[in-house]
Structure 1
Amino acid sequence: MDWDDIKVLLALSRRGSARGAAQELGVSNSTVTRRLDELEHQLQTHLFDRTPDGYRMTAAAERLLPTAEHVEELLLTAERQITGGNQHLEGVIRLTTPDVSGMGFLMRRLAKFAEEFPGIELELMPSYDALDLSRSEADIAIRVMPAGVKPPDYLIGRYLSPLTASTYVHPSLLNPDDPTDVSHLTWIGKNPIGQKESWLEETDFPDLPVRHAISNINLVVDALRARMGLAFMPCFAAFNHDDIVQVPGSAVVHHSDMWVLTHKDLRMSARLRAVREMIAEEFERIRHQLDTRAS
């Protein structure tokens, strides 16, 4: 069996569609379907049912999947161990960061880092998605995790900072007679409308209704500036925005933690270690913006 065909099996099992598998593998939809046809022809068996809702594994595919995943893990482990022993400050580094406008400070430092080490190529992937470091979807991840939750054992890294959150609003929406009274306002939520918003219990105004739903923090900031309501969000996202203010008297809570992480097999890689240390230094420099409880 061709390993490229097996990768199609794995990608289809994870994504459930030719388009999703193509995005994961970096190939065209037609390449995915062609390789699947070739694999099914070679094995003389039907692996996926093509349905209006996507690709569904047959019993034959389910029997083959554990072996395919085991082979994939062996190959990825070998790749990480080879990469992890590389002591040269050159090569590609894939870095995923939270997709928030407040991360601009890091971009400026990365630009300087790239000047200092011309042999390093940076591939940046702004995302909140849980990119799989064990499958080499990224080399280094800056991740926001619930307060007190530690990364899984197969990842190593450094704790960067607590991340505080509070309630923010456009100042023109505050009651001029009593700025602490926001009973006339509604929330900008995060989940699809109608779903439970667990973060409400962390706020001072859990009984106010949720009117809108916006999952992207950059759009939440834009919505606040457009006077669409209240939002509970990381304090650092409000920095440098004069038209967003914390509701007077609202609590500042330790909402989550920030980490810089990589797979443990890559711990000896000189270029990854250099980037992790640089990231940790930059986060220490702006820690007062991330953890505003001492402000």
Structure 2
Amino acid sequence: MDTLDWNDLRYLLAVARSGSAAGAARALGVSHATALRRIQALEQVVGSPLFDRLQTGYALTESGRRFVAMGEAFERALLDTRREIEGQATELAGTIRFTTTDSLGYSLMPDILAAFRARYPGITVEMKVTNARLDLERREADVMLRVTDAPPPSWVGRRLVRLDAALYAAPAYLDGREPRSLESLDWLMPNSPLGQGAVAEWLRSRIGGARVAASADSFLVLRRLAERGLGAVVLPRFLARQRRLVWLEDVPEDLSVPLWLLTHPDLRHAGRVQAFMEHVAQAIRAACATPEAPAPDDARAWAAGGVASAASAGRSPDPGSGFGPAMP
């Protein structure tokens, strides 16, 4: 058998993980034809088919599984060595691979990154904005800002604040509707992965058999749909700040979830990672102390009218910053 190199194994792992040559091509940033050609060349080198080509995608053969195991072991060793070397670097320069959700990336990170860039011009922040959890072990990210009740125990970091949520709708959607109950409204629902948490489960039980107008896997999309008057929505309260949305009801405080800033243990002593995490943590904790803009008059009018009214709850509509207390 001719000699294999890491590039051969990269293509093998990419096809195995995505289940197709097209998926591997997207993951590696190459053409579909290139991915096909590299897999075919690899099979010629090893002298055995590595995949069964099925209508549903690529399935590993026994030989393929053995080479994938070898490739994953090599990948882990390579990444471990790279992290150890980078974790010893103390200079404030280089690249940080940073991942967060679309709502946090859009609403909080631009101002935070602008201030960070002004302070540390030698550090480049490479952002991966996704609602899916990335794998720090495989170096898909160096630093992660995520809402979670249970961060992986192998990662290290800080629990920053708790994120509160509430129910909202646009004034135009509520205009002319008799305040009755949440079940009488049309709803914009979070779907996977946002639809798997405790808040989404509470909302489904709270609205019963209400009509669902649309669903999305992005709070930014759900907010925009709500602003266009398609229905009511549950949002993290920081996303509704200074938006012309009517507060309907708070999600119970015991369902608020922690916001974590995490990194791999091998990188926690790297100078650029320490600087970045300290900057982000301080900025987010400062944001949690920023007062909420007053609710618009129509929000007060609707709340006074009846649906889960603020008056009946003994509080004003949507108080606070949208963040719970900062964590120690």
TM-score (norm 2): 0.80
SS in 2 for 1:166: strand
SS in 1 for 2:40: helix
SS in 1 for 2:256: strand
CA pair 62-118 structure 1, distance change in 2 beyond 3 A: same
Task: Map 1:126-275 onto structure 2 (within 5 A).
Answer: 126-145=129-148, 149-174=149-174, 179=179, 181-191=181-191, 199-203=199-203, 204-242=206-244, 244-247=245-248, 249-253=249-253, 254-275=255-276
Quote the Cα distance in structure 2 between the aligned partners of 1:26 and 1:173: 43
Quote the Cα distance in structure 1 between the aligned partners of 2:209 and 2:325: 25
Quote the Cα distance in structure 1 between the aligned partners of 2:96 and 2:250: 41
**Preserved contact between residue 162 and residue 290 of structure 1 (Cα < 8 Å):** no
Which residue of the partner structure matches residue 46 of structure 2? 43
**Residue 92 (str. 1) matches residue 124 (str. 2):** no
Letter of the 2:281 counterpart: A
Letter of the 1:291 counterpart: F
SS in 2 for 1:218: helix
How many pairs were matched up? 287
Quote the Cα distance in structure 1 between the aligned partners of 2:109 and 2:189: 28
Deviations 1:192-236 (A, max 9, x none): 8xx999745423433423232222211101110111111122111
Question: 1:74 is matched with which residue: 63, 73, 77?
Answer: 77
**Preserved contact between residue 102 and residue 239 of structure 1 (Cα < 8 Å):** no
**Preserved contact between residue 183 and residue 208 of structure 2 (Cα < 8 Å):** no
Query: Shift of the alpha carbon at 1:102?
Result: 7.2
Higher mean Cα deviation, 272-281 or 26-35?
Answer: 26-35
- Residue identity over aligned pairs, in percent, reads 33
Deviations 1:70-90 (A, max 9, x none): 111111100111111111111
Could you list the runs of 5+ residues in structure 2 that have no partner in the other structure?
290-320
Letter of the 2:275 counterpart: A
SS in 2 for 1:87: coil
Query: Shift of the alpha carbon at 1:250?
Result: 4.3
**Preserved contact between residue 105 and residue 129 of structure 2 (Cα < 8 Å):** no
Letter of the 1:4 counterpart: N
Which residue of the partner structure matches residue 25 of structure 2? 22
CA pair 226-101 structure 1, distance change in 2 beyond 3 A: farther
**Preserved contact between residue 49 and residue 57 of structure 1 (Cα < 8 Å):** yes
TM-score (norm 1): 0.88
Letter of the 2:20 counterpart: S
Deviations 1:34-69 (A, max 9, x none): 221221111100001223332221121122222221
Question: 1:52 is matched with which residue: 42, 50, 55?
Answer: 55
CA pair 292-171 structure 1, distance change in 2 beyond 3 A: farther
CA pair 66-218 structure 1, distance change in 2 beyond 3 A: same
SS in 1 for 2:184: coil
Could you list the runs of 5+ residues in structure 1 that have no partner in the other structure?
none
Quote the Cα distance in structure 1 between the aligned partners of 2:60 and 2:269: 39
Which residue of the partner structure matches residue 109 of structure 1? 112
